[in-house]
Amino acid sequence: MGRRACDHGEAARPEAALPEMLTMDAGAGAGAGAGAEAGDADADVVVVGAGVVGCLVATEVLARAPRRRVVVVDRGLAGGGASRFSAGLHFPRGATPRVRAMAAYSQRWYAGLRQRDPRVPIHPVGMTVISADDAAVREHYLPEARLRPLPGPLPEALPEVRPRPAERGWDGDGAHHADVAALTELLAARLRGRAAFREGSAVTAVRSAPAGVVLTLGTGARLTAGRVVLAPGPWLPWPELLAPLGVRIKKVVALHVERPVTPRDRVTVFHDEDAFLLPLAHRGHWLFSYTSPDWDVTPDALTGGLSADDLDRGRAVLARHAPGFAPYCVSGRVFCDAYSPDRAPIVRPVTADGRVLFAGAAGGSGYRLAPAIAAAAADLLDGLDGKDTI
């Protein structure tokens, strides 16, 4: 995703005014936590949400302490939320030192994963950045991108792209794209056996009591945990806990361009437009991602596919940059993502006792920053454990 979608730094926030104890639904009942005593919890850590973020949090938590009892709970299937729709583009950039550090960490993490197992659905891709703003490009891209100015703005490998008069191009390194749904399912498969999975199980209530956190599931079951990491993607089901974060949900649209892809094709990032044109070799078509202006959407209402507006807006942007592709742009994918007020990921406690963390709201960059989000969540859990052993 592009600059507005991901490139802002998160300001430090005071941990004041956090609720001590929260109950979401009448079903949880006042005594939901009555049975939670230190030592008899069902799990040391429960991760709520089995998207790419939740699965990486569980992976990281277990990598650091393999004997931790970890449970992953999802209302649907692992990888079935926003991760299912992701274009999965990673590129080495960020607007603030924090996001740049997260992007660099995540890039190294994904490279390591691919090195350990070349079969993971992660595909390196050459990158060309187009912009009229040299200074912004220099500021946003990491050294890992090794940007090289192109002699002319029209790269030979990109005959479809028609740069505008003031624009110039850079070739760069470090980009890849992933089949995020497949990767998330793979992560979940590898976690199974080490972590317990509860799919098809919505968490309807979260209650932090002195002895532990009590989760009520839609199945009627209750889980008690020493710590809980909420990674619900664009669902924000516990307003008492999450409303103070100021997260909003925005539609995310990527159009499919039904043109053939060759192994030489590169991703073109239209930096000033917050858009990119990505060859998806594993699916046999191109993908054009642009910025949708539709805020405050509801994930469960986004079942109708692309609207005429989604298509028209995307095609209009594509026609400005790659007019030859616009007629082949007749379909696509639409869902939504969680955006923090400053567009940078949020990883922080949401209860005063620190036992319940939120991890996410990466604003259209949840795949590319997920390893760093997971590491930050694990750091917080480790810090808590230092003070109060599970």
Backbone φ, ψ for residue 314 (5° rounding): -65, -45
Site string for ligand FAD, 270-309 (x = CB under 6 A): ----------------------------------------
**Pairing, β 195-198 against β 70-73:** parallel
> Taking CB under 6 A as the rule, does residue 75 contact ligand FAD?
yes
User: In this chain, which stretch among 93-101, 152-160, 227-235, 317-325 interacts with ligand FAD, using CB under 6 A?
Assistant: 227-235
If you count them, how many residues does the chain have? 390
Stretch of 94-102, 162-170, 231-239, 374-382 lying at the interface with ligand FAD (CB under 6 A): 231-239
| Positions in 174-193 near ligand FAD (CB under 6 A) | 180
Instruction: Tell me which H or E stretch contains 149.
Output: strand 148-149
Which position among 2, 44, 47, 81 is part of the footprint of ligand FAD (CB under 6 A)?
A: 81
Q: How far is residue 171 CA from its own chain's centroid?
A: 25
Burial degree of 120 (CB within 10 A; 0-12, 13-18, 19+): middle
CA dist 96 and 139 (Å) reads 9
**Minimum distance, C-beta of residue 247 to ligand FAD, in the bound complex (Å):** 11
Q: Which stretch binds ligand FAD (CB under 6 A): 69-77, 133-141, 142-150, 156-164?
A: 69-77
- The yes or no reply on residue 252 touching ligand FAD (CB under 6 A) is yes
Residue number with CB closer to ligand FAD (33 or 366): 366
Minimum separation from the CB atom of position 83 to ligand FAD (A): 3
Count the site residues for ligand FAD by CB under 6 A: 42
Q: Is 254 in the site for ligand FAD (CB under 6 A)?
A: yes
2 interacts with ligand FAD by CB under 6 A: no
Which residue is it, tokens 């990674």?
Answer: 231
Shortest approach of ligand FAD to residue 351 CB, angstroms? 16
User: Does residue 374 interact with ligand FAD by CB under 6 A?
Assistant: no
Q: What is the nearest approach in angstroms of ligand FAD to the Cβ of residue 194? A: 19
The answer to whether residue 102 forms part of the interface with ligand FAD (CB under 6 A) is: no
User: Residue 237, SS3?
Assistant: coil
Q: Least distance from C-beta 56 to ligand FAD, angstroms?
A: 8
Task: Give the CA distances from residue 3 to residues 188, 203, 290, 342, 363, in Å, rounded to whole numbers and listed in that order.
Answer: 30, 33, 11, 12, 10
Using the rule CB under 6 A, is 203 a contact of ligand FAD? yes
Q: Which residues contact 179 (CB under 8 A, 6 or more apart)?
A: 88, 121, 282
Under 8 Å CB-to-CB from 315, ≥6 apart: which residues? 255, 326, 329
The piece of 33-41, 71-79, 124-132, 151-159 that touches ligand FAD (CB under 6 A) is: 71-79
Given candidates 1, 125, 213, 275, which one binds ligand FAD under the rule CB under 6 A? 1
Q: Is position 80 an interface residue for ligand FAD (rule: CB under 6 A)?
A: yes
Q: Which of 162, 96, 177 is nearest to 344 (CA)?
A: 96
Binding status of residue 54 toward ligand FAD by CB under 6 A: yes
The residues near 227 (Cβ < 8 Å, ≥ 6 apart) are 44, 45, 46, 213, 355, 356, 357, 381, 384, 390
The one-letter code for the residue type at 77 is: L
- Measured from each CB, the residue nearest to ligand FAD is 366
Direct distance between the N- and C-terminal alpha carbons of the chain, in angstroms, rounded to an integer = 38
Among 190, 222, 178, 161, residue whose Cα is nearest residue 31: 222
User: Which residues of the chain form contacts with ligand FAD (CB under 6 A)?
Assistant: 1, 48-54, 73-76, 80-83, 85-89, 180, 202-203, 231-235, 237, 252, 254, 333, 335, 337, 360, 362, 364-368
